[in-house]
Chain A
Amino acid sequence: MILLDFVLEQGEFRLDVHEQLTGRVTALFGPSGSGKTTTLDAIAGLRTPASGEIRVGNRTLVARDRGIDLPSHARHVGYVTQDVALFPHMHVRRNVLYGRRRGQKLELDVVARMLEIQPLLDRPVARLSGGERQRVALARALMSAPELLLLDEPLNAIDLELRRRILPYLERVRDELAVPILYVTHDREELRLLADHVVVLDKGKVVDSGGLG
């Protein structure tokens, strides 16, 4: 269960989210500027809510009234940002292993096979195509053994054909790893294929939410 119950103010913009998410893949849906990315940033610890609480499972990430505001590195939340931000000074393998925690069960081989990135592991990131970068970023986030995976429009920057080829990888992540996913999109096809729950945001407020049949 993921509890999002917070208010975040950013200049004149006010994000007001009060939701309890129980789905495996929850899509955050809404127009640009509605607060989707800001919501993910707040969960990842990149922005601080003015008040409220964020919980993932039994772990409280933020509880402003109790003075809890875990730093990003202690949140155990994998975040694939829109621009993927692969570390340019590292090869793919070092990127993927960057967040690997000691004693974690998930092996590089398993993730590399699942996302078909084995042939890419020794390449510099500058020599990856758009789709390869997305898969490597996804592998990197998974290797940090997150308790929640945040995906911010992971297929936004790539063309339709490539998008169709990458979608199955996301489906595999959803089906083979028991990690809840919060997925920002404004593509209805992605929404239909991946999500089992949707939260619709508009102008910083939740205007609709519920399961997808």
Chain B
Amino acid sequence: MTPELWQVTLFTILAALGATALMLVPGLLIAWLLARSRFPGRVLLETIVSLPLVMPPVATGLILLMLCSPRGIIGRALAPLGIEIVFTWKAVVLAMTVMGLPLFVRAVRAGFEQVDRRYERVAATLGAPPLRVFTTITLPLAFPAVLAGAVLGFARALGEFGATIMIAGSIPGATRTLALAIYSFAETGRDREAAIMVFVSAAIAFAALWASNRLAARAGFHT
């Protein structure tokens, strides 16, 4: 592996890990709301969160580009703070987060729905307020689903292409990820590098899935 390939690999892993971390708080909150609450606009929230799953990723990328460009709502709001998103590593992480979030939410929501509500009710009668019930009962019991969701989100982030190329471009050494590198190498006839990147992608995805399966198996209920 050349330094260029190492850089792309490391950058992609770090960006995907960052995106996975960013998915956690909003993802857990949205999954909990969808699994446990009835409120007006619930179906709308569910639809909006799932949109990136069914829309062409390039279209999602274009929406993000319009929102985050210097003239977009988010871009304008962040400009006074000196934060630029478009065509930087932040754009890569943002695209990965948006594209991975629906998978994370779906997995975690299913996990929350499977937690027997008897435990939550009993915890409440024992004096636990809702946040404590969530952190000590719901979340630990749904842990395998949260883990599976995080791995799915990470794997989706790792392979992100369409939205990333729209909002971050494919700038070598700055925003080029594994998926973008594979495309770029294949397009320019650098087949050997493309093949190495394909192998690296598969190895990372395999390692993530294997680790999550091991952790889920070990997560058995004894603390």
Contact = CB atoms under 8 A, between A and B. Distances in A.
Interface of A: 44-46, 71-79, 81, 83, 85, 87-91, 94, 98-99, 101, 124, 126, 140-141, 144
Interface in B119-150: 119, 121-130, 133, 136-137, 140-141
Query: Which of B119, B121, B125, B221 has the most chain A CB atoms closer than 10 A to its own CB?
Result: B125
Contacts of A140: 126
A46 B117 CA distance: 11
B192 interface: no
Interface residues of B, number: 21
A98 B128 contact: yes
Interface of B: 116, 118-119, 121-130, 133, 136-137, 140-141, 221-223
A89 B128 contact: no
B140 A89 contact: yes
A44 B125 contact: yes
A45 B126 CA distance: 12
Interface of B is mostly: helix
B130 to A, nearest CB: 8
A88 B221 CA distance: 6
A79 B125 contact: yes
Contacts of B116: 85
B127 A91 contact: no
Nearest to B136: A98
A126 B222 CA distance: 9
Given A124-B221, A126-B221, A85 B127 contact: no
A91 B223 contact: yes
A46 B137 CA distance: 17
21 contacts: A45-B124, A71-B129, A73-B124, A73-B126, A73-B127, A73-B129, A74-B127, A75-B125, A76-B127, A81-B118, A85-B122, A87-B119, A89-B141, A89-B221, A89-B223, A94-B223, A98-B128, A124-B221, A124-B222, A141-B126, A144-B127
B222 A144 contact: no
A88 B136 CA distance: 12
A85 B137 CA distance: 12
B126 A99 contact: yes
A75 B123 CA distance: 12
A81 B116 CA distance: 14
